[in-house]
Amino acid sequence: MEKYRGLSPAEFFHRNREMAGFSNPVRALYQTVRELVENALDATETHGILPDIKVEIELVEGRENWVRVTVADNGIGIPLTEVPNVFGRVFYGSKYVIRQTRGTFGLGGKMAVLHAQITTAQPFYVKSSTMDSPAVYEYRLYIDISRNIPHIVGFRLKRKGRSKWHGTVVSLVTEGAWNLARRRIDEYIRRTALIAPYATIVYRTPEGEVVYERASKKLPEPPQVGKHHPRGVDIEILKNLIRSLSEDMPLKDFLRKYFESVGEKSAIDFLKWANLDPETPVKSLRIKDLERLANAMKRYEKWRRPRPVTLSPLGAELLKEGAKRILEPEFVEAVTRQPASYGGHPFIVEAAIAYGGKIEPQNSPLLLRFANRMPLLYDEGADVSRKIVDSIDWSVYKVKFPAPLAVITHVCSTKLPFKSVGKEAIADVPEVERELEIAVREVARKLRLYLSKMEKLHEVKRKELTIKRYIPEVSRSLSYVTGIEEAVLRRKLEELLEKEIKKRGVVANAPVIQAA
């Protein structure tokens, strides 16, 4: 006879860890670094703290493919009693609200811990302290996979004294192929420094140390916690909201109070359209009523767009600063689009183009993708940004390949339309695709203006060099005819040439600039 039993969330992801990107030793090590770094950034910038992040990767002596990964931040820290659950229980955390964050599922850090535990059987180490805590606390933990609860194997508490340190340090030993993963992790840290130009990142590896000093002290405005938009609800959301009510209320007040962009008039107009009584007590609604309400909310066309208060785009200026810091281009331009929405979820698209300088010429644009300020390195071919960049005829924008061209795209949303749990490729949702194409073409037009100007300056400079070559000969001939001293004539001709060049906007000693 068959035996039946349930799986805890931890046991499910233990069995299916490739769903979250932990599919092989290379990808797993990359994913471990990524998840811990993104948690560290969320613990700082979301709370108005300029991030100081330290990432250290060490090879464990005597154990093949064992790697110790340590990530430290100066964030708000985790309360003493919450540390075991935050790191030792799958689907437990502070990110289950409607607000833009890097993490979404409450899986990332826990999956890194699970993979480490499964492959090396070593406990993981957490040190933390909140801003107002008088103590620093250290834990050594396992996850009890079958019960999805933390198991504490070591604990130490010490008073801060004069120290004002706050933040979190996570250290774990995991199985990973460092030699194969190194290049990918190096690039991930580099791109993180691009999308977070306000962060100082110290990156230590067996090969040495790299420090990315912050290029700006300006932080993006942190996102606020928001409400559900009517177009994005389902029956379960309605049930949970009604269940959480401390007292009953009319349906019109429920819509107005608990949903984004719904006022009293729009609530009454909607209920009239849906043939629902505005005064119906919400706790009296049955499943059939909730199904009817949810379907009507999705179909109603007159809801206002969700406000973007839950979002935190980087901003065009910071995006340019990040591109200059990492790519060191000759030209860079960026744009932040106006907020839009898909399925009731707000989103904002940003794009930048960098050209020349230290960017290596390639046969197609170098694409750097970001989502909620996360670098996306895998599955580029499946991403909507690659589809858009490849569909553009770049010759229209005066770009001839091979060219030193980099395109940066960034999508931020409370619900990013990822293609998989691995969070590496954004799906081609029509609304997102349209905004991305508009943004990329907008910065491409600015590049075209720049390249057109460079072509003109190049032509003027070429003519200047040609004329200068003949000035000595012309001076001698005029001196012979007029009797005026040759040096005087040469100086006059050079002054006339310099005035003409300045009229055309070229500095006299400027280098010859190669056209695209």
Amino acid at site 39? N
**What's the pLDDT band for 228 if we cut at 50, 70, 90?**
confident
Evaluate whether 388 touches 434 at the Cβ level (below 8 Å). Answer: no
**What is the reported pLDDT for 305?**
83
Q: Rounded distance, CA 258 to CA 229, Å?
A: 9
Residue 367 tokens, joined: 């694409």
Given this model, what pLDDT does residue 504 score? 63
Mean pLDDT of all residues in 379-403: 94
- When the pLDDT of each residue in the chain is averaged and rounded to a whole number, the result is 87
What's the token pair of residue 259? 């949903």
CATH class of 310-447: alpha beta
Q: How far apart are CA 109 and CA 170, in angstroms?
A: 9
Only one residue has tokens 């390195």, namely 377
Q: What percent of the chain has pLDDT over 70?
A: 89
CATH 1.10.8.50 fits 230-299, yes or no: yes
Cis check for the bond before 472: say yes or no (omega within 30 of 0): no
Q: What is the pLDDT of residues 57-88, one digit of tens each?
A: 999 998 989 999 999 999 999 999 999 988 88
Q: Which CATH architecture has domain 9-212?
A: 2-Layer Sandwich (3.30)
Give the HSE-up count for residue 244: Cα atoms under 13 Å, Cβ half-sphere.
8
The CA-based angle 410-364-375, given to 5 degrees, is: 25
If we measure between CA atoms, which residue out of 122, 195, 135 comes closest to residue 165? 135
Q: Which two tokens stand for residue 212?
A: 């990315």
| Averaged pLDDT for residues 34-52 | 92
Integer Cα distance of 436 and 432 in angstroms: 6
* pTM listed for this prediction: 0.82
* Model confidence pLDDT, tens digit, residues 154-171: 999 999 888 889 999 999
CA gap 101, 255 in Å, rounded: 26
As a 3-state breakdown, the chain gives helix, strand, coil percent values, each rounded to 5, of: 40, 20, 35
